[in-house]
Amino acid sequence: MKIEDAVMQATAGASTLASCLGQPVIAYHVTAIMREADLGHARQMQLALMRRSVEALVDDGLEDDAAMRFASQFQGRVDLTWQMLHANGTAH
């Protein structure tokens, strides 16, 4: 899997988030996460993106619980995709 494919897979279904953060912003952050080889640092980056996502979704009118659920699902997709991309331990 290439980073570009991983970003597309991780951001599929994130149109709600894209409407308030913007697709280029999301793609930039997810690409940076996918390029990060260190799992711990990648997870820190994911948590930062999740916090920013929740803030943007709430600012856009979603209730806190709905924003947290959406951001958590998005973070799960990003994490799973990162794991698939880095499964063999080589840089991509």
The answer to whether position 68 is within a domain reads: yes
In a domain, 91, yes or no: no
Number of domains the chain is built from: 1
Whether residue 92 lies inside any domain: the answer is no
CB-based contacts of 44-53 (< 8 A; 24+ apart in sequence): 46/75, 46/78, 46/79, 46/82, 47/75, 49/75, 49/78, 50/74, 50/75, 52/21, 53/17, 53/21
Entry pTM: 0.87
Range of the domain at 45: 3-85
| Cβ proximity of 73 and 57 under 8 Å | no
Instruction: Give a yes or no: residue 38 inside a domain.
Output: yes
Q: What is the pLDDT of residues 16-54, one digit of tens each?
A: 888 888 888 999 999 999 999 999 999 999 999 999 999
Q: Quick check: is 29 in a domain?
A: yes
90: confidence class by pLDDT, cuts 50, 70, 90: low
Q: Is residue 90 assigned to a domain?
A: no
The Cα–Cα gap between 22 and 27 comes to 9
